[in-house]
Every structure is written in C-alpha cells, then in structure tokens.
A and B are shown apart, each in its own frame.
Chain A
Amino acid sequence: MGLSRHVRKFVDSRFDTETAESFINKQVHKRLPPHTGWLHVFGSLSLLLFVSQTITGILLLIYYRPTPEAAHKSIQYITAEVNFGWLYRQVHAWGASVMIIAVVLHMTRTYFFGAYKKPRELTWVTGVLIFIVTITFGFTGYLLPWNQIAFWATTVGTESANKVPVIGEWLRYFLRGGDAVTGETLSRFFVVHVIILPWVLTGLLTVHLFLMRATNLATLEAVGEEKFAPPECGIPFFPVHVAKEGVVAVFLLAVLVTLSVVAPWEIGEPADPLATPAHIKPEWYFLPSYQLLKYFEGPYGAFVGILACSLPFVLLLFWPFLDRGKHRHPKKRPIAVGVGLLAVLAALFLGVLGHLSETDRTIFGRTYHFDLLGRPHQVTTSSDPSQLNHVD
C-alpha cells in the first residue's frame, strides 16, 4: 500500500485534488428523489447499451472491411473464423434494436411523468436529439453488412430523400454519394456510423447527463410546487441506485447473449445491385414512418408525407414549450397523457401494419393478403400464382 500513498502524494503536491475529489464525491453519492423506482432504469440502460455498442463496434472494426467487394466477406469471416466473432456481431446487431427500445422506453417514462417540464426542458431537447442520433446510428449501421436486405432497404430509405421539395434530388445525391447506392454510399455511411455519430452522441450525452445531474431527477409534484424531501430520504446514487441498476444490467447482458444464440441475425445474400428481392422493408424502427408515407400519394402527396413523418419529431423536440401546464403527475394531465397514449398506439398500429403489409397471414384458418396499405383481403385457396406470396 505504500505505492498508492506515494501516488497520492505525487498528485496532491501538483494539482488541486480537493475540488475534484469533492465534486466526484458529490456526484457519486448524490441523493435521488425517494420515488425513484424501477421505471427509472431505462436511462442508464440506454447508456449501458451505448457503451456495449461502442465496445462491440470497436471489436468488429478490427475485422470489418468497408468496401463493397470485401464487406460481406468480412462479416462471413468474423462469423466463421474469428474467435467469438459470431457473438460480438450478434450482440452488436441485437444491441442496436435493444438500445432503440431502451431509449424509447426512457422517453416514454419521462413523457408520462412530466419530467420534461421546467427546469428540465433542455434535458428533454437534448434527449430527443439523442433519440434521432440513435435511429441514425441504426440506419447507417444497417447498410454495413452489404447484404441484399441492407442494400435495398437503404435504397428505399434514401429514395424518400428525393421527396423533400426543392433540394430533394441533391439531398439524395449527397446521401448516396451518387445516383444509386454504391460503394460511395457505404463509405459515407461507414464514416458517419463509426466516427461522426459516436462523437456527436458523446457530446449530446455529456450535455444531457450534465443537465440531468444539475437539475436532479424530477418528482411528481407540479412545476413551482416541488417539495424537496430531506436529504436522508433521498436515494444515494452510489451505492443504492447503482445496485438496482446492476440488477438490470446483469439481465440485459444475459438477454443480449441469449438473443445472440437463439435468434441470430442472418448474414444474408451478398448485395446484388441488379436483383431486387421482393418485399423490401426497412428495419422495424422505421416501419411506422414507412407505413405512414404510403398513405400520401400524388404530386404533392410525397411532400405532405414527408411533413407528416417529420411532424412527430418536431413535436417531440418542442414539446416542453408546447405543453406549459404545471402538472407533472399523469393523473393530473389527462390531455397530455391522452395525446401520448394516442401517439404510442398510432406508432404501434402503423408499425404492425407496416410489418403485415404485402404478406399473407392465416388467421383462424382463413388466409388474408395484406396489401400495400395494410388492408386485409380474404384470399380463396385457388391456384392463383399471385397469391403465392411468401409469408415473412
């Protein structure tokens, strides 16, 4: 132990460690409001997932090759040859979806508890930006395996950039690095996914966490009527809340490994720019927007569609300034809660429609074909070849 004392003396005699130490102590043992419960773990869960994605991402980067010729093969190599390569690839792929779920749950909890109200508006705003960055992570990362689904889902996804008025075509050209999805697109998406977004997210997270810490977690009283519990009633971040989050973290890691083993992501066919597979759909987190866009047709339809899809995000971003009510408790804010529930249900409904569209399902013995807009049509068991659509 003599060594640590020497190190201490070395540092103390050169730097003002007292301020730093007291700051760190204060943060570590900060008391959270007494009502902080199991619903408050999603934030740290999201953070943990970001850390997991970063670490698995760095590991994958060692063997991944970001060119059209080698990308798919490098994923094969990672899966087949590298020790535990299959595990890290699956954890990364599943981690993306789980992280988006965690972020959404965190946002939902914050919304329904009114925690975005004064003084935490900016925390919420940075949070929405984090959500958008997370989805963008998903979008850019999805292309990297360079398989058929990735290639064509990206083609469909970037195609919608065309529908933005005035600058649409240039925007699409810029996003794709060309007219179609090519190695240039892969390059751009790779750079965004691997260096730009991680730094952006780190910056946003720093601000978000700083703000969160500065204002502490919200209670359920109305704005201006907050009652502050005496400190000894608060829950120390360390060791109490950390222990609770530890429970969740352990389960999260077990779930990620389980998903990696029992439901692994396919490597898929290598991307073929000359062959579009049937029924290309984006990943599940884009399905609500994807389905919503379909309902807007015609020359201005696309533009209105883009507006309609952007509206939720704009609303989310500015929500603390739109909802100025003072109440936080959900029971006291029926309108806000109603709007929130409606939004969640609408998103789920559209997502399910998006998933069912262009497939055949057999429900209670009857086969239905769901068309592009998600409407079911009963299908008679004839030998009509158009009804031989594969079921997802």
Chain B
Amino acid sequence: MEKQPTRRGFLDWLIGLCSAAAGAALTVPGLLYLWPAARGGASEDVEVPNAPTLAPGQSAILQVRGKAVIVVREQTSFTAYSAVCTHLGCLVKWDGSRKEFLCPCHAAVFDKNGAVVSGPAPAPLPPYKVKEVGGKVYVSLS
C-alpha cells in the first residue's frame, strides 16, 4: 500500500475520531435494538403477572394487545374474559362471594361463564384462552 507522508496530522486524527464515533453511533443503537424489549413480542401470549399468588376466587386485570382482560382463579384453574362490559365499556369487577362479574356503572351482572345474568348488558363477555405452562399462566391471543 502506498503510504504518503502527510503534514495534516490533525486532519487524519480528526477523521479517525469521527470514523470511530460514526462507527459507534451506527453499531450501538443496532445492538440495543437487538436486545429483547421488555414486553413480549408481537404474537406472544401475555403472561398474567403474579398468577400463582392469586387465591381461589380472586381475580386480576391485565392488558392483552390493548384490551382489558380479567383473569379469575377458580379452585385450580384459571378463566379469562374480556373485562369490558358489553353495555357501555366500563371495566367489570369479579365478586368472589357471588361468583359473578359486576359492572360498577349500571349494575350489569355476568355469571362466571361470562353470560348475562341481569342488567343492561346486551351480550355476554367474550372469553379468552388461558394456558398454564411451567407454573406460569398466559392469556392467549387467539
């Protein structure tokens, strides 16, 4: 390789520095990009946090792909329904003693299978699939 002696030592140093900086600026975001993000991937099932600590009869509410889902623990199994009341969209709560979903807004009542018991709700709560894998509980998207 031809090596030309150059008097512009500063220029070379500057270019070297800028090249290194550019190299870092190009690779570091790329590496950060590759590091898995906090939430699951676009098609992953969503884990119900602290599912094992739910007592029988208790419920938890979480977000699955932007929709509110309520997960109820029966004795040993879990069920999940859309938490969005089919009347006007308020979020329902689970009443463990009555074993019903109650909507705080206009008193819609759904039984433990999501069917309408009383109140102004026109349709039952749609169910979500629940998977238990390795001690953790996941709500499935499909």
Chain A residues in contact with chain B, CB under 8 A? 25, 29, 55, 59, 62-63, 65, 69-70, 73-74, 76-77, 81-85, 87-88, 250, 253
Contact = CB atoms under 8 A, between A and B. Distances in A.
Contacts of B30: 55, 59, 84, 88
B41 to A, nearest CB: 7
A83 B43 contact: no
Given A29-B2, A83-B29, A63 B42 contact: yes
User: Which residue of B1, B2, B37 has the most chain A CB atoms within 10 A of its CB atom?
Assistant: B37
28 contacts: A25-B1, A55-B30, A59-B34, A62-B34, A63-B41, A63-B42, A65-B43, A70-B43, A73-B43, A73-B65, A74-B41, A74-B42, A74-B43, A76-B42, A77-B37, A77-B42, A81-B37, A82-B33, A82-B37, A83-B29, A83-B32, A84-B30, A84-B32, A85-B33, A88-B29, A88-B30, A88-B33, A253-B22
A77 B42 CA distance: 6
B43 A81 contact: no
B37 A83 contact: yes
B38 interface: yes
Contacts, number: 46
Contacts of B42: 63, 65, 70, 73-74, 76-77
Nearest to A88: B33
Interface string B43-71: 10000000000000000000001000000
Contacts of A87: 29
A84 B39 contact: no
Nearest to A71: B42
Tell me the interface secondary structure of chain A in the complex. Answer: helix
A29 B2 CA distance: 9
Nearest to A25: B1
Interface string B68-82: 000000000000000
B10 interface: no
B35 interface: yes
Contacts of B37: 77, 81-83, 85
Nearest to A78: B42
A25 B32 CA distance: 37
Contacts of B32: 83-84
Contacts of A82: 33, 37
A94 to B, nearest CB: 16
A81 B1 contact: no
A65 to B, nearest CB: 5
B38 A81 contact: yes
Contacts of A83: 29, 32-33, 35, 37
Nearest to A60: B33
A87 B2 CA distance: 40
A55 B42 CA distance: 21
A250 B18 CA distance: 10
B48 to A, nearest CB: 19
A59 B30 CA distance: 8
A62 B31 CA distance: 12
Nearest to B39: A81
Nearest to A76: B42
User: Which residue of A29, A69, A83, A84 has the most chain B CB atoms within 10 A of its CB atom?
Assistant: A83
A59 B33 contact: yes
Given A62-B34, A84-B29, 16 more contacts: A55-B30, A59-B33, A59-B34, A63-B42, A65-B43, A70-B43, A73-B42, A77-B41, A81-B38, A82-B37, A83-B32, A83-B37, A84-B33, A87-B29, A88-B33, A253-B22
A62 B41 CA distance: 10
A87 B26 CA distance: 11
B15 to A, nearest CB: 8
Contacts of B22: 250, 253
